[in-house]
Amino acid sequence: MTTQLITTGRDRRSGQPAGRSGEPLVRRIVLRAPVYAILVVASVLALVPFLWMVIASTHKTSDLFVTPLPLLPGGEFWQNLGRLQESIGFGQVMLNSVLVAVVYTVFSSLISIMCGYGLATYRFRGRGVLLGAILVTMMIPMQVLLVPLFQMMASAGWIDSYQALIVPFLANAFGIFLMRQGFLDFPATLIEAARIDGAGELRTFYRIVLPVARPQIAALVIYTFISQWNSFIWPLLMLNSEDRYTVPVALNTMIGLSRVDYSGLMLGSLLATLPLFVLFLVFQKQFVAGLLGGAVKG
């Protein structure tokens, strides 16, 4: 009977196509229907704010307070874009954010990869204590660090500079932990074989380790870029010149005491979200694989 079920793909008692466990297809659909319904509702709720942002960015601000609310895109997109460029210089602001996010991502990812690799593969006294100290820093709220970090940047003369946005946070505790978890599964035999063949530590790291750890590295790069791109409180404290503003800080200046350009604000938020959306779509497989790979061992 088992052979016949596998061959024909049907249940002899019900005449329905059999599932992987031999149960009828109709029963499987009925049992999974609530799960699918919950997923559909959650997806719709998650997409509604983005859909409203798209619609609002194509209307005048006055149109967003009428009843009923507009449910279809309007014809004010280019007017809102021109006003956005005139008010905050959105093109320059985007270039500033790209510069800061890319430079930070490159150097922070490199530090996290090397530290995670060392903590996962090298055996030395105090390794567990060092890892624990790194994880403890993740529990410290950012608000507690603002005043001492501000004093340090002022003493170094880095106020209103991009290095103040990049340097203090290069050693990212979460990035180090993520890469350490990923490298725990790395086959030690490959490293030993490379050392026997005469390869140095740096060559082994760049030629053997990094290519194999691409999923974890992709997840780290995406996380690091997004965290820096969305950073608001620290750039708001550090930057004084409008021509140095990043996207979150520049969009915040559009919120006035008496009037708020909601349509321009929605358009700026939409344009600022698109690079992150495209980045995640391109690397979503590597992102998920990297996160799951880092969660295998503790």
pLDDT in tens, the chain (298 residues): 444 444 444 444 445 444 455 457 788 877 888 888 999 999 999 889 889 889 998 988 888 888 888 888 888 889 989 988 888 889 999 999 999 999 999 999 999 999 998 888 888 888 889 888 988 988 888 888 899 999 999 999 999 999 999 999 998 999 999 888 888 877 777 877 877 877 777 888 888 888 878 888 888 888 899 999 999 999 999 999 888 999 999 998 888 767 788 888 899 999 998 888 888 787 777 666 655 654 444 4
Closest CA to 289 of 216, 226, 225: 216
Q: Is residue 94 part of a domain?
A: yes
Same domain? 145 vs 226: yes
Q: Is residue 71 part of a domain?
A: no
Listed in sequence order, the DSSP H helices in 172-246 are 173-183, 188-196, 201-204, 210-212, 214-229, 233-238
Cα dist from 208 to 20, 119, 123, whole Å? 39, 17, 19
Neighbours of 42 (CB within 10 A): 10
Q: Is the peptide bond before 17 cis (omega within 30 degrees of 0)?
A: no
Same domain? 210 vs 249: yes
Residue 130: Cβ-neighbour burial (10 angstroms; 0-12, 13-18, 19+): middle
Here the CATH number for the domain that contains residue 144 is: 1.10.3720.10
Classify each residue of 60-86 as buried b or exposed e, where b means 16 or more C-beta atoms within 10 Å of its C-beta. Answer: bbebbeeeeeeeeebebbeebbebbee
Same domain? 170 vs 235: yes
Q: Which domain holds residue 21?
A: 2-56
Closest CA to 173 of 220, 202, 218, 138: 138
Same domain? 93 vs 232: yes
- Number of compact structural domains in the chain: 2
Q: Is residue 62 part of a domain?
A: no
Residue type, 249: V
Q: Is residue 237 part of a domain?
A: yes
Same domain? 149 vs 250: yes
CA gap 273, 97 in Å, rounded: 12
Angle, helix 173-183 to helix 262-294, in steps of 10 degrees: 30
Same domain? 31 vs 90: no
Same domain? 32 vs 111: no
Same domain? 90 vs 141: yes
Same domain? 112 vs 252: yes
Q: Are 270 and 202 in contact (CB under 8 A)?
A: no
Q: Is residue 113 part of a domain?
A: yes
CA gap 94, 246 in Å, rounded: 7
Q: Are 137 and 173 in contact (CB under 8 A)?
A: yes
Same domain? 250 vs 144: yes
Same domain? 150 vs 115: yes
**Cβ-based neighbours of 176, under 8 Å, separated by 6 or more:** 111, 112, 115, 116, 119, 134
Q: How many CA atoms lie within 13 A of 235 on its CB side?
A: 26
Same domain? 158 vs 16: no
- pTM listed for this prediction: 0.79
Q: Is residue 258 part of a domain?
A: yes
